[in-house]
Chain A
């Protein structure tokens, strides 16, 4: 569903590439997370998959990047919009400013896609419920709290049911259970609707618990790619400016103190940690 072949990208006037020779394939229905220190290229990769690189940011893109068989560089943002949805980390960048109410904001994308009004209403209601914004449906998007705006931004993209959903730190402003809810919805979306979900995230606990696959970016290069249990427990993680979950840290401390567990694999989630320490 996502196919990158030798993709290198430099922002205008940048001396070094933000993405360096990336090649990867992500099938339909996979929930893939990209992690890395700030400046590693996570946001740039998200922007590339949605076509903002190179169509909005310009700069120099080489190699081939395709989503759902569509060549990103060879298509316009409008052509890509029906296939790829992008959720920004800052909801202020997402809200159109062209609509007066939360309900109209969610409707915006559907109107642009030409969805008949009779079909729109139930889809919008469903999304407002999912985003826990039904009570705010008639308020201005700007009257919402930061967390509510972030849920609105996600709902406005999800309502279009894109084949590929790209999210750049979508829970940065959400409370913990709000974040968990968003992650579980994304996992269901990938598992049941065969959507490809690609997300950049700092909070490794969520990545460990929900993603099928983890990519590690470091200085624009792909340095690790595999299942969460393997990638997040790797001793190389700290070299890339990442801190393992407390579960992994506690397990390492226990091993250091001489503990010999029944299951030797280092845990990355709560469930695995319970097995490890049992």
Chain B
């Protein structure tokens, strides 16, 4: 019965993100976050207009950094692994945008190579710390904070661990905290792609 209900939900012609809230395994937001307008620089050195270039897509927006030892690689690896197993009708509607919170160390070349290791379609964006803080405020996530460097000059950056999922209604109704499993992504991504 549960499988039948899920099949009917996925097979529907299009669902509303808000009405389908309880169907998601991600965490529903009390108040939807509008798709933000900002422009940063991508890993090819080109300006990336987030709102225009992600229009009419499901956009997974995530803040992190390349040297992150745990949250970032696990999130990106899980999303990439699941996307490889989904049909193009779903993945063709999904964009993954990663904004580095450590632009000083995450050069365009390093960021490009790192993201390509997960999925070549993932978009990496860089900006000034002020720009990034402003965007974090726009989407209502905690601002990244760099820890004091150790004796070798290495440092960690505390950052928001959730992935925001903007659907084609230009809002994020659901977020995916650290701990989201591949099975959860595989369940939710097709549902998100159905949202009109």
* Chains A and B come from one and the same complex: no
